[in-house]
Structure formats: structure tokens, C-alpha cells
Amino acid sequence: MLGRDAGLPDLDLLGATLIESAVGSPVLWLGTISAGIVRLDVADPRHPRVLADDLPPPPDSTAYSALSDHDGRVYICTNNGVQLLVPQSNRYASRVFTRSDGMVHDECNRGAQFIDAHDRYWAGTLGGLTVYDPKRAVQDTQPKALELIGLRVDDRAVEGTSLRVAPTAHEIAIDYSLLSWQREGESRYRSQLVGYEESPGEWTAQSSRTFNALPPGRYRLRIEGRDYAGNVSAPLDVAIEVEARWWQEAWARVAGAAALVLLGYAAVLWRVRALKAQRRELELRVASRTVELNEANARLLELSYVDALTGLANRRRLLETLERDPVRARPCALILVDVDHFKAYNDRHGHPAGDEALRAVARTLRDGMPADALVARYGGEEFACLLEGADATTAVALAERIRAAVAARDIAVPGTKQVRRVTISAGVASAILAAAADAHALLRNADIALYQAKREGRDRVRSADDRVP
């Protein structure tokens, strides 16, 4: 038996694959719920040994399986993409495939991975099937075009590819972009204002430059771009000419030399006040833009926790809520709900009708649960209700009320005058949550109770406390 005494960090195993190491030693690669991939050296089956965790970090702690092809490449399917490990000397180079690389969904299905005779990798996901053929992967060595997006002076757009700046201007802004068309989030830029800066800056993701109060003169902004594969583009040059004020012209300096001696002190004071006012203006502008950016980021974060179809919390919000405050133990009850015969309902009445049925069930759940309960769409036709501070008896009573309310609710069939009804099955479990493992056990027990309800005929509630071992 393999357990804690063998050094396993997680006993909830999802898959096991035997893969030979570089020296021919048999190694068992285990997929787990919360510890990613764990490797066991089983050269001596009676004394398996957990290997050092020196793999590149996985994109998610839930890893379903590890499969190796004929060239030693290892594919790891997780809840947040597929990790490809390519052997290099005594280590692995890592690449993670997600929706941005063409996957139909980031979350894999358990036991739905396969490598065929042509070393193509097949992965079943929540959104469908994804296939990766390493023989068709072509190394990108083509530098991309670096394009000028826009020129602005004091927030006023300027046509052309060069700037002639009046001496009264406060801010110059140049926007540019690398036309990579692939993994553009990994594009990097650097620039140098020739005539003002001694060397180019660091490579960053920033695709714009802003200058304030440049001294009069002629400059050239040299911009370089580098794509995700490290290909450096041909540099882009933007000519900038900052005009001088009349008193900065040579004739004015000669004619006003004597006057400048007398007025120098006053001019310095005026200039300092002007620069301070300009600085205050810029600081206010930066502060305002920072507030807008923080508000936008907060809105995006909120949307990332909401299911678009039902308006409920999503699976990510539920899991993060379950696993928070690991040090402070708290009692919780969990209700897992599944719409009975939903595929048949969908096939009979169409996907719009199926969506309307899911929304109706979601509304019934939200209306029937306490205000402090977390109601979430767990995936597909499954929902979850997390009740903090509740016991199993309270949760079963709530689940029974919800089951009856759903069964009695008329659901419109879009595009017709028909109404239909659906039923639900529910599984209830309760636990004291003091660690991440307790949260996983709570989910597992509620899921087992749900499937017991479905096996017994559906349209019923079952509790993990009442199931037969």
C-alpha cells in the first residue's frame, strides 16, 4: 500500500503511468488532486521511493495523468492547461498549452488522454477534444513587423511618422506594436531616445513612450521589438523636433544678454513655479489613470468569478472559498445538485431550452438559499451550495425544499408556448474545514451522495452521513 509513510504528499490519486527515467529506471508518475505530479522510483517495488520535486512547476495543482511518447516527451493534463515536458540533459524544459494556443478548453477530463502511434497527443477537455502533433510544430524564426500605432502631443493625435513639437507642449506620447499575431502577451519592447539617453532601456511589455518637457532640439526615438520566440524586429525610428522658444534662439540670446543678467533670478523663480505646476498636473493625471486602472482590474476580477449563463458564482469562486483560511477550522455543509436527464432534455427541446432550464434551476437555488450561502455553477448541469456554519441536517432540509421547488416550477421553452418541468438530484455532506484536504474530502463525499441519489432513481436528496459503506 502507498500512503503517507511512503512520502506521498497527497493521497487523492487521479492517475498512474510507468515511465522509464533517462537511465532506464522505472518511475511511476502519479496524478493528484492537490500536489500536481508525484514521481515514485519503483526499481524495488517493495520499497518505493518518492523522487525530489524538481520538475518545472505545473500550471495547476490538480494533475490527472502523465503520458510519455517515443521521444521521451511527457504530457501532463491539468485543470488549467496541458504541460509539455521536453527532456534536456538532466532536466525538463516546460511549455504550457491553454486556450491561447488553440485548446478548446483549459480544464482536462479524468482518464481522457491518449498518445497514438504517430506520437500525437489527444486530450479530452470540458469543451471537447484537443489534439497536438509535435511533428507539425515549427520553430518560429521570422522577425515580426514593428508598426507605429499613433503619435500624440498633449492628448492630441498627430498624423505622420515624425513629430514637430511646439515649445508650449507639455507631453509627447508614442504608441507602437509588434504584429506577432501569436502569443502577443509575450512581446517585449525597448527604446532609446537618441540625443537624450545614452543607451536603450530594458526589455519590457510596455508598448509606448511618454516624454515631458524635452529640451529644444532634434531627437530620434529608436524602438525595438522582440516576439515570444525571441525574434528581434527591425528597429523603428521616430524623428522628434522640439522647437525653441523665441528667447532660446541665438539672436535673442545675444541681444538679451545684458537683460538676462538682471532678470535671471526672476526667470529662474518663474521657471521653477512653472515646472512645479506641470509636475502637479502630471501627478494628478497619473493618479487619475491609476484609479481608473484599479477600478477596471477590480471589475475584471469580479467577472472572473461569475458564470456567464446563470449569473451565479463559478467553479473557481467555489474552490477558492472552500480552501481559504486553512488555519481557522470552520464547519461547513455542501449541497451538490445535478439536473436529471439534462442531456435528453437538451436533445429533445434544443440548446436554448436547455440554457433556460439551467437559468431556472439557478434562480430557484438562489431564491431558496440563505443570503450568506455561496451558490455556484459547478460545471455543465451541476450546481453547488456552500453553507458555512451549517450541519448536514440543516443542509438536507434546504436541499429537500429546493428539490420540491424545482420540480414544481414551470420552465418556458423558447420560441414556443410550451412549458416543461425538470427534476434534480442532490448530495449533501458536511465537515469541519481545517486544511485543503478537508475541502477535497467534502467535495468527494457530496459527489458520492449525489451519485447515490441518481442510482436510486433521481429526484431525491441523499446525505453522505446516510450512505451504506
Per-residue pLDDT tens for 90-142?
A: 888 899 999 888 899 999 999 899 999 999 999 999 999 999 998 887 677 88
Q: Are 198 and 277 within one domain?
A: no
Tell me, yes or no, whether 210 and 272 share the same domain: no
The one-letter amino acid code at 234 reads A
pLDDT of residue 237: 95
Q: Does residue 54 form part of some domain?
A: yes
For the stretch 33-53, pLDDT in tens is: 999 999 999 998 888 889 988
Let me know whether 104 and 55 are in one domain: yes
Q: Based on the domain organization, do 440 and 339 belong to the same domain?
A: yes
Same domain, 132 and 143: no
- Considering the domain architecture, whether residues 260 and 357 belong to the same structural domain is answered as no
199 part of a folded domain: yes
Within-domain flag for 329: yes
**CA nearest neighbour of 462 among 368, 374, 395:** 395
Q: Which stretches in the chain have pLDDT values below 70? A: 1-5, 138, 248-253, 258-259, 290, 294-303, 325-328, 467-469
Q: What CATH number did the domain enclosing 194 receive?
A: 2.60.40.10
What pairs with residue 70 in β-bridges?
Answer: none
Whether 440 maps to a domain, the answer reads yes
Number of domains in the chain: 4
**Is the Cα torsion angle 266, 267, 272, 275 positive or negative in sign?**
positive
In this prediction, residue 262 carries a pLDDT of: 77
Helices (DSSP H) in 324-461: which residue ranges?
A: 342-349, 351-368, 392-407, 436-455
Q: Is residue 260 part of a domain?
A: yes
pLDDT reported for residue 433: 87
- For 466, which DSSP code? T
Indicate the residue among 303, 325, 352 that finishes a domain: 303
Judgement on whether residues 262 and 240 belong to the same structural domain of the protein:
no
Collect all residues with Cβ–Cβ distance below 8 Å to 32 and sequence separation of at least 6. Answer: 9, 10, 12, 13, 14, 38, 61, 62, 63
Residue 125 to residue 60: CA distance in whole angstroms: 15
pTM for this model (two decimals): 0.41
Q: Is residue 309 part of a domain?
A: no
Q: What end-to-end distance do the CA atoms of the chain give, in Å?
A: 21
Residue 469 within any structural domain of the chain: no
Out of 244, 261, 294, a domain closes at 244
Q: At what angle do helices 351-368 and 342-349 cross, to 10 degrees?
A: 130
Together in a domain, 361 and 432: yes
CA distances from 115 to 9, 80, 81, 96 (A): 28, 20, 17, 17
Cα dihedral sign, 143-147-153-156: negative
Residues 127 and 226 in one domain: no
Residues 164 and 112 in one domain: no
**CATH code for the domain of 50:** 2.130.10.10
Give 143's Cβ-side CA count (13 Å radius): 10
Whether 265 and 277 share a structural domain: yes
Same domain, 343 and 394: yes
Domain assignment present for residue 156? The answer is yes
Domain endpoint, select from 136, 168, 184: 136
Residue 430 sits in a domain of what CATH number? 3.30.70.270
Structural domain span for residue 338 = 315-463
